[in-house]
Amino acid sequence: MLRDITLGQYYQTESVIHRLDPRVKLGGTLLYIVSLFVFGHFLGYAVAALFLAMVIRLSHVPFRFMVKGMKAILFLMLITVGFNLFLTPGEELVSLWKLSVTREGVRTAVNMAVRLVMLVIGSSVMTLTTTPNNLTDGMERMLGPLRVFRVPVHEVAMMMSIALRFIPILMEETDKIMKAQTARGADFEGGNIVQRAKALVPLLVPLFISAFRRANDLAMAMEARCYRGGEGRTKMKPLVYEGRDKIAYLCILLYLAAGIGAGYLGRFLGI
């Protein structure tokens, strides 16, 4: 049960990308995002798009799921493109009242749009192919060195997993309490804003009490199993790099090299 909660966007299927170590996916996504901002040339972007297409193909996740994430940033993208288009000084192409579209403006706007699209799709691939629990595991391991600076890495990761685990439970609980109060004549839909806020009291109070009760029970159960934080704690399924993970790292490095190379090539050829 704990393994298969579906939250956010995880898309369950069988693929090599799904099986990769979460550290590879986290690190790879980070490098990919950085690379998008380092490659300054359209040939570099072509390499990035090709790489992304290959990963999506390997992940067996339908493309429409990737595009879903785009809706959320549509507004942000419009603003970015708009600003870049109109407010970049340079050689003027079209002039509208006080705003003017410049050659440089078009260039940066297109650059920005391409970067944003690939950035969102790239990170979607990670969240679509990794369970939230795996993701927190990966983060815990990657941020492990920060413990030297007294950052409570394990505790934060544990809190994240618990929070994620409890979301479906509390959703179900909300539904149950809502129904129980509706059966007692409560009305959650009608009325003005004040009445609606007031109507939430019979829902929120029991919900909070239940959350505290569950937290208490969980804390007790953890203590009964001698949980004492991350100190000296081992994992049942420790993250171990396997052959495919090493290959994946190699692919990422090759991609970076190809992207940078393409940029130089582009400038060398003068396109």
Name the residues that contact another protein, by CB under 8 A: 173, 176-177, 179-187, 201-202, 205-206, 209-210
Pick 209 or 257: Cβ nearer another protein: 209
Closest by CA to 166, choosing from 3, 5, 4, 10, is 5
Spell out a b/e string for 49-76, using b for 16 or more CB atoms within 10 Å of the CB, else e. eebbeebbeebebeeeebeebeeeeeee
CA distance 269 to 50: 21
If the CB atoms of residues 183 and 193 are measured against another protein, the closer one turns out to be: 183
What is the nearest approach in angstroms of another protein to the Cβ of residue 214? 11
Instruction: Give the shortest CB-184-to-another protein separation in angstroms.
Output: 4
Q: Give 101's strand partners.
A: 94
3-class DSSP state of 102: strand
In the complex, least distance from residue 206 CB atom to another protein, rounded to whole angstroms: 5
Q: Identify the helix (H) or strand (E) that includes residue 101.
A: strand 99-102
Q: Compare residues 91 and 189 and give the one whose CB is closer to another protein.
A: 189
Q: Which is nearer to another protein, 76 or 209 (CB)?
A: 209
Q: How far apart are CA 120 and CA 134, in angstroms?
A: 20
Residue 187 or 242 having the CB closest to another protein:
187
At closest approach, how far in Å is the CB of 197 from another protein? 15
Give the nearest distance from C-beta 189 to another protein in angstroms: 11
From the number of C-beta atoms within 10 Å of its C-beta (0-12, 13-18, 19+), residue 103 rates as: exposed
CA distance 233 to 14: 30
Within 10 Å of residue 39's Cβ, how many Cβ atoms?
22
Q: Give 123 or 181: the residue with its C-beta nearer to another protein.
A: 181
Show the tokens assigned to 183: 């059966």
**CB 223 to another protein: min, Å:** 23
Share in percent of the chain as helix, strand, coil (round to 5): 75, 5, 25
